[in-house]
Amino acid sequence: MGGAALPDNGWPADRIDTESAHSARIYDYILGGKDYYPADKEAGDAMSREWPALPIHMRAGAFHLFRFRAPELPDIVYLSGLVGAVYLDKDDDVVVYREALDRLGAQSAPARKTEALLGAIRKEL
């Protein structure tokens, strides 16, 4: 690696663009991590100002909540990830996702404002 000093993460410091925000580091910042730079923090803060529910959404991950009309059938959460999927049906597990979905709905912008919201975020980046 040309004798360049290596930071703790093993990458040569001259190969890391710390002036530009990077999606992985923004994700790390929003989730409370420690591996980000000022540009990533600035972009994460701008995104969170425009979409206050973003941190909640990012922490929850990809999930679907299925509710059934029949009262004897429990709510079911389907979680999908990179390595597989799982179904949850115990109320102690499902309540976390039910609350996340309720909070997302309460904090999300109306659908008619989505295009303007995404445009504002794009300009900030």
Q: Which of 55, 63, 6, 8 is nearest to 33 (CA)?
A: 55
What residue ranges do the domains of the chain occupy?
A: 1-51, 54-108
Q: How many CA atoms lie within 13 A of 110 on its CB side?
A: 2
> Does residue 30 carry a pLDDT above 80?
yes
- pLDDT recorded at residue 4: 43
pLDDT at 39 > cutoff 90 = yes
- pLDDT value, residue 79: 80
Rounded Cα distance, 93 and 5, in Å = 46
pTM reported for the whole predicted model: 0.45
CB 39 within 8 A of CB 21: yes
Q: What pLDDT score was predicted for residue 1? A: 34
pLDDT at residue 3 in the model: 43
Q: What are the start-end ranges of the H helices in the chain?
A: 23-30, 38-50, 54-60, 91-107, 114-124
Token pair 């445009």 is at which residue? 119
Higher confidence at residue 89 or residue 110?
89
